[in-house]
Amino acid sequence: MKKLEQLYEGKAKKVFKTDDPELYIVDYKDDATALNGLKKGTIAGKGVINNRVTNHLMKMLEKQGIPTHFVEELSERETLVKKVSIVPLEVIVRNIAAGSLAKRVGVPEGTKLGSTVLEYCYKDDALGDPMVNEYHIAAMGWATREEMETIASYALKINEILTAYLKDLNIELIDFKLEFGKLSDGTIVLADEISPDTCRFWDSVTKEKLDKDRFRRDMGGVEDAYQEIMKRLMGE
């Protein structure tokens, strides 16, 4: 499968057309941004790790009944995916208070939540991805109520599957962000990535951060943390 015209360049990935109108190629970059684009940098080797980790997790989720856009890993940084129209929402799932939630409600990071929290943010860089609720989503026509039921139930099931899987690898899944897309026939599938860029992973014992917070917060050891996640998930 050959890369044709570039369709889109995001902060961490490029997307290309292929000669099959229903398939795209995603190409992962080492570029990193944080604070809504204010902080920019590179994380050496990140593109390779995020490509491989995402594909590993998507294949596992597919086996457990979650439809995804994944088709085939083409190279270290490139993956063939199904063409989707992205539902313009970041779907955030939280098990432990951290990041913006810890700030918003004034609890210390690491506080266990009494039950899983789902949040939605409208994907719009110029607006800073504002948080919205199901009423906004239906009223604005970003997704139907029925589509949101599917998305919420997939998000919760993904949380259960990933939490259990990562626990065995001594990784605590604090929170993560998902994106969903619609195939041409309207089927909702998991899209985008699941990686240390989009999840908070803490070592279960030491509580050491093994994710992009090390970049966001200038903690150092960013590359090592990404490597450690790939090693624990894929044995290398």
CB of 11 to ligand TMP, least distance (A): 9
Q: Are 6 and 20 in contact (CB under 8 A)?
A: no
Closest residue to bound ligand TMP by CB:
99
Using the minimum distance from each CB to ligand TMP, give the nearer residue, 51 or 198: 198
Nearest CA to 161 among 50, 234, 49, 60?
A: 60
Using the minimum distance from each CB to ligand TMP, give the nearer residue, 4 or 127: 127
Q: Rounded CA gap, 16 and 25, in Å?
A: 5
What would the two tokens of residue 87 be?
A: 């539902």
CB of 100 to ligand TMP, least distance (A): 3
Residue 124 is given by DSSP the state -
Using the minimum distance from each CB to ligand TMP, give the nearer residue, 126 or 185: 126
Using the minimum distance from each CB to ligand TMP, give the nearer residue, 18 or 42: 42
- Residues paired with 81 in a beta bridge: 24, 70
Residue 41 Cα to chain centre, angstroms: 19
In angstroms, how far is the first alpha carbon of the chain from the final one?
A: 27
Which residues lie below 8 Å from residue 176, measured CB to CB, with a gap of 6+?
Answer: 92, 93, 159, 162, 194, 198, 199, 200
- Binding-site ranges for ligand TMP (CB under 6 A): 90, 92, 98-101, 129, 175-177, 198-200
CB of 104 to ligand TMP, least distance (A): 9
CB of 129 to ligand TMP, least distance (A): 6
Using the minimum distance from each CB to ligand TMP, give the nearer residue, 20 or 110: 110
CB of 101 to ligand TMP, least distance (A): 6
